[in-house]
């Protein structure tokens, strides 16, 4: 991506559009999750199709991450909405394992931490580009350790992974927020920035929920 120097006003305009798209995505996810969780037939269908839905999501991630600038902005927005819906379907199963108060607390906590991370990114004079390589390696390590623990089923390891996950996505939120204000593509495709921050938010929320959530 091409780096550019944006005025404060332009940065605020780009971020406002990005946050608007992101908010819409989160709202769609929340509504979808609630509606599916209230429908036994939909829940059963989700259980039976869970891995197919996840594979479908992975395909959307690839398209939105690598090909979004090659497709029409309207189609890009439609794919983001579709991803938000599919995430809501997946979350409908995950969130049923936790109490409603835990889910609410985790969401509020995530919103606060996410907001502080973004605020730091837009106010600091420090260039966060140097974080990129470390965050990427951390993300790869997090994925690999999560896969290993899926088969091992270690409680202590899951706790450590959750802590690392929270810290990692706090860093990614700050890094991605600053990146959005310095790359030309995000000004043209704000939905791309929204998608990236949406992923940061959802993942941070899930790790916070795993750390502090009370299971039913």
Q: Which residues contact 141 (CB under 8 A, 6 or more apart)?
A: none
pLDDT over threshold 50, residue 2: no
Residue 68 · residue 191 · CB < 8 Å: yes
Residue 5's pLDDT band (cuts 50, 70, 90): low
Determine the longest span between alpha carbons in the chain, in angstroms: 52
Structural domain count, the chain: 1
Question: Do residues 82 and 195 make contact, with C-beta atoms less than 8 angstroms apart?
Answer: no
Q: Is 1 a domain residue?
A: no
**Vertex 165, ends 161 and 171: CA angle to 5°?**
145
Q: State which residues form the domain around 39.
A: 8-212
What is the rounded distance in angstroms from the CA atom of residue 208 to the CA atom of residue 215? 13
110 located within any domain? yes
**Residue 72, in any domain of the structure:** yes
Is residue 117 over pLDDT 90? Answer: yes
Q: Per the domain annotation, does 3 fall within a domain?
A: no
- Residue 2 in domain: no
Residue 6: the pLDDT is 55
Terminal Cα-to-Cα distance of the chain (whole angstroms)? 45
In a domain, 16, yes or no: yes
Tell whether 168 is covered by a domain.
yes
Asked whether residue 33 is domain-assigned, the answer is yes
């Amino acid at each position: 991506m091409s780096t550019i120097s944006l005025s404060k006003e332009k940065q605020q305009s780009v971020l406002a559009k990005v946050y608007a798209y992101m908010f819409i995505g989160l709202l769609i996810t929340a509504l979808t999750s609630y509606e599916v969780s209230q429908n036994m037939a939909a829940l059963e269908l989700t259980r039976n199709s869970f891995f197919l839905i996840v594979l479908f999501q992975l395909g959307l991630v690839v398209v939105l991450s690598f090909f979004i600038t090659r497709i029409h902005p309207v189609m890009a927005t439609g794919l983001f909405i579709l991803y938000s819906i599919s995430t809501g379907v997946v979350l409908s199963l995950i969130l049923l394992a936790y109490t409603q108060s835990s889910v609410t607390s985790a969401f509020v906590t995530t919103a606060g931490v996410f907001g502080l991370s973004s605020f730091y990114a837009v106010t600091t004079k420090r260039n966060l580009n140097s974080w990129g390589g470390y965050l990427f390696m951390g993300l790869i390590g997090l994925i690999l350790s999560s896969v290993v623990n899926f088969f091992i089923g270690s409680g202590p390891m899951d706790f450590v992974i959750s802590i690392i996950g929270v810290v990692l996505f706090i860093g990614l939120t700050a890094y991605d927020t600053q990146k959005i204000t310095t790359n030309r593509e995000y000004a043209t495709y704000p939905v791309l920035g929204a998608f990236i921050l949406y992923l940061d938010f959802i993942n941070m929320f899930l790790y916070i929920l795993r750390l502090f959530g009370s299971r039913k």
